[in-house]
Amino acid sequence: MPVATTLCLDLFLLPMIKLAHTSKLRVGMYVHDLNRDWIEHDFLRNRFPIDSEKTLQKILALGEGEISIDTSRGVDIEEVQDSHSPAEPSAPPRKAPTVLRPVRLGEERQHAKKLHAEASRIVHGMMNDIRMGKQLAIEHVEHVVERIVDSIFRQQNALLPLAQLKSHDNYTFQHSVSACALMTSFARALELPREIIRETAIGALLHDVGKAAVPDSILNKPGKLTDAEFEQIKTHVVQGKIILEATPGVSPVALSVVAQHHERFDGSGYPNKLKGEAIDRYGQMSAIVDVYDAITSDRCYHEGMPPTEALRKMLEWSKFHFAPELVQVFIRSIGIYPTGSLVRLESGRLAVVDEQHPDRLTEPNVKIIFHTRGYYLKPELVDLRYSQDRITGYEDFGHWRIDPGQWVVQ
C-alpha cells in the first residue's frame, strides 16, 4: 500500500480537552487536569472521573477556578446546558486571548531562522550553566518559548522545517529546540488551552536537560554505546526531573514532559516502565515528539530517515509504544508530507514541501527544484490543490545529493 494511502487511513477522533469553570462541574464529567499544583490538593491522581457527589464537592472545596475536562471520557458542558436542570451562575469573565497577526510565510521564515539560532544558544548556555552547578535560568527559557509559541501560531510552516537541519556537534541543543516547536504544533492540534500549550513547550525545550549530567564522551560517541554507557545515558531522565523539581516556577505539565518522555505505552520504556494511562497525556505526547525528531535526524552513528517514512514507522509502533489516537493527531499537526521534506511528483520532478493545507494533507504547496533524470530545474512554487501533478512518494535528499539547507528554509 502506498505510504500516502497508509497515512490517510481513517484518523482517530481525538479526545476533546476544554476548560470548565468549577460552577459548571457535574457528576459524570471526567477531570483531565485540576490545573493546580500537587501541594494544593490531596487527590491521588490529577486525572479521574467525577463519579459521585462527594468527589464533586471535594473539587469545589479547592475554590473557584477552571479545570480541564475530557469530553471524550465524560459529560460535556453543552450536555449540561442542554438539560432541564436550573440555570447555573455564569463564570467570571475571562481575559480575551491574544490575537496574533497572520504574516506571510517568507516574512516569518526570516524571523524563525533567527529565533531557532537564539533558542539553540540558550539551551547550549543552560546546559553549560547546569554543568557548572548553577541553577536553571527558567526566565530565559520562558521568554524564548513564548516567542516560539507565537511563531507557530502565526505560521508554523516557517519554524518546523528547521527541525531537519541539525549539525552533529550541536545535535542535543538543536534537538531540544525542534522538540519544542513540534510539541507546540502538536498541542495546538489537540486544541489545548494556550497556557497548557506553553507549559508543554517549556517541558519539550527542557526534556533533555538531564544530559548535562552525562559526559560528552558518551553523548557524542561516534560508535555504538556499551551497555554500561547506555545505562548512563538513561539516567538523564531522572537527572532532568531532579533539576526541574529544584527549579522554582516549573509547572507539573512541564515536569511530566521531562520525566516521562522515554516511557512507552506498552510498559517497555524507562525509567519507571509506566504503562498505558499511567503515563500522563503530556508524557505520551513528549514520547512521540522525541522519537520522531530523533529518527529523522542525521547523527554521527545514525542516518536520519525521511519524515514521511518516519511517520509510517510511528504508525507501526503505535500498536505498542504510543497511544494510536495521539500519533494520528501528531501526523495531522505536521502533515503527511511535512514541510521541508522532499517528495517525488508524478511528472518525475522532485519538490520540497513548502506549506501545508490542513484540510488537504496530500496536496501541499511545493517548490519544484530537480528532475529525476539528474538535473536541477528553475525553482517553481506549485499549489498541488490546483495542479494536474501529484505526489507519488517521499524521497531522500542524500540519495539525490541535494543539500536540504539550500532549499528547506528559503
pLDDT digits (tens, 9 = 90+) for 11-22: 333 446 778 888
Answer yes or no: is pLDDT of 132 > 70. yes
Cell 459548571, located at residue: 24
Whether the link from the prior residue into 49 is cis, omega within 30° of 0, is no
How high is the pLDDT of residue 245? Answer: 94
Answer yes or no: is pLDDT of 88 > 60. no
Nearest to 158 by CA among 210, 116, 99, 188: 116
How high is the pLDDT of residue 172? Answer: 78
Which of 132-141, 250-259, 346-355 is predicted with the least confidence, judged by mean pLDDT? 132-141
How high is the pLDDT of residue 15? Answer: 44
CA triple 356-357-359, angle to 5 deg:
140
How high is the pLDDT of residue 169? Answer: 59
Answer yes or no: is pLDDT of 192 > 60. yes
- With contact defined as beta carbons under 8 Å apart, do 75 and 26 qualify? yes
Nearest to 290 by CA among 319, 329, 331, 260: 260
- With contact defined as beta carbons under 8 Å apart, do 48 and 26 qualify? no
On whether the pTM is more than 0.85, the answer is no
Give the relative orientation of helices 281-295 and 307-317 as an angle to the nearest 10 degrees: 140
How high is the pLDDT of residue 301? Answer: 65
Comparison of pLDDT for 53 and 72, the residue scoring more? 53
State what percent of residues in the chain have pLDDT above 70: 85
Answer yes or no: is pLDDT of 10 > 70. no
Interval 116-141 mean pLDDT: 91
pLDDT digits (tens, 9 = 90+) for 314-342: 999 998 999 999 999 999 999 999 999 99
Interval 205-224 mean pLDDT: 89
Mean pLDDT of the chain: 85
What is the CATH number that goes with domain 105-334? 1.10.3210.10
| Rg, the chain, Cα only | 22
Q: Name the residue ranges covered by the structural domains of the chain.
A: 17-82, 105-334, 338-407
Cell 494511502, located at residue: 5
Nearest to 127 by CA among 172, 60, 64: 172
Torsion of CA 281, 286, 288, 294, to 10 degrees: -170
Which of 32-36, 120-124, 125-129, 195-199 is predicted with the least confidence, judged by mean pLDDT? 32-36
How high is the pLDDT of residue 7? Answer: 47
Question: How many whole angstroms separate alpha carbon 21 and alpha carbon 92?
Answer: 8
Quote the distance between the C-alpha of residue 47 and its chain's center. Answer: 21
